[in-house]
Amino acid sequence: MAEHLVFNEAPKFIRQLHNSPGIQRGIKFGLDVISGSIPQPPAAITEGRPVTSRSVPTAQRARKLVYAPDLDGRADPGEIVWTWVVYEDDPTRGKDRPVLVVGRDRRTLLGLMLSSQESHADDPNWVGIGAGSWDETGRPSWVRLDRVLDVPEASIRREGAVLDRDVFEVVATRLRAEYSWS
């Protein structure tokens, strides 16, 4: 397992990191600050790679849930991937964040947003999934249940992790019971 990660997954991650527009912008910003030049206003977040900017109430996307992770380069239900998600209250800004894939419509993934904010622990629209490799500091995470994100497959920055089947079933059970998924 460790050998596979070191020799197969790590090089893919490094290549994706190297080609990341966000990393390139960060380097440029840092160089501008060091040189004392005034940085240009940031480019609109919609330039370049697609962003996740659309969400719908979960019941409107109800479908059959199937746990089917397969680290084949395409995101599948049960995998956690990273994508740029715009803020609901300010669509000109956003954040690179982990998303649990729960379905697919052709080249659009259906995802549920993850957060490590402990304030979600008591929120009925969120369910705790514990800590995992998607969070490099090992913080526990919560999955938002009441909104499904339409994630363009081309917007995925990297595969983050495979959620354990038992934990996926906790999420699936809530989707079935509260949002008419099957």
Let me know whether 116 and 142 are in one domain.
Answer: yes
Let me know whether 78 and 124 are in one domain.
Answer: yes
Let me know whether 60 and 92 are in one domain.
Answer: yes
Let me know whether 14 and 66 are in one domain.
Answer: no
Let me know whether 56 and 38 are in one domain.
Answer: no
Let me know whether 8 and 26 are in one domain.
Answer: yes
Helix (H) or strand (E) holding 22: helix 21-35
Domain range enclosing 141: 50-179
> How far is residue 121 from each of residues 43, 58, 133, measured CA to CA in Å?
35, 19, 20
Q: Tokens 């649990």 appear where? A: 100
Written as six digits, the tokens of 20 are 């990341």
- Summarize the chain as % helix, strand, coil (round to 5): 30, 30, 40
Q: Specify the CATH number for the domain of residue 77.
A: 2.30.30.110
Let me know whether 36 and 58 are in one domain.
Answer: no
CA distance 167 to 129: 6
**∠ Cα 2 140 155 (to 5°):** 70
Domain count, the chain: 2
Let me know whether 56 and 89 are in one domain.
Answer: yes
Let me know whether 151 and 63 are in one domain.
Answer: yes
Could you report the per-residue pLDDT of 64-115, keeping only the tens digit for each? 999 999 888 788 999 999 988 888 888 788 888 999 999 988 888 999 999 9
Q: What is the sign of the dihedral through the CA atoms of 105, 51, 112 and 150?
A: negative
Let me know whether 96 and 166 are in one domain.
Answer: yes
Let me know whether 32 and 102 are in one domain.
Answer: no
Q: What is the sign of the dihedral through the CA atoms of 168, 72, 155 and 57?
A: negative
Written as six digits, the tokens of 139 are 């913080």
**For position 132, what pLDDT does the model report?**
93
**∠ Cα 142 145 149 (to 5°):** 100
Decide: helix, strand or coil at residue 140.
coil
Let me know whether 150 and 104 are in one domain.
Answer: yes
> How far is residue 143 from each of residues 1, 20, 54, 126, measured CA to CA in Å?
27, 26, 17, 5
Q: What is the mean pLDDT of each run of 10 residues along the chain (182 residues)?
A: 64 60 67 62 49 74 90 89 86 87 90 95 96 92 94 80 96 96 92
The pTM for the full model equals 0.71
> How far is residue 53 from each of residues 3, 44, 118, 149, measured CA to CA in Å?
37, 13, 24, 8
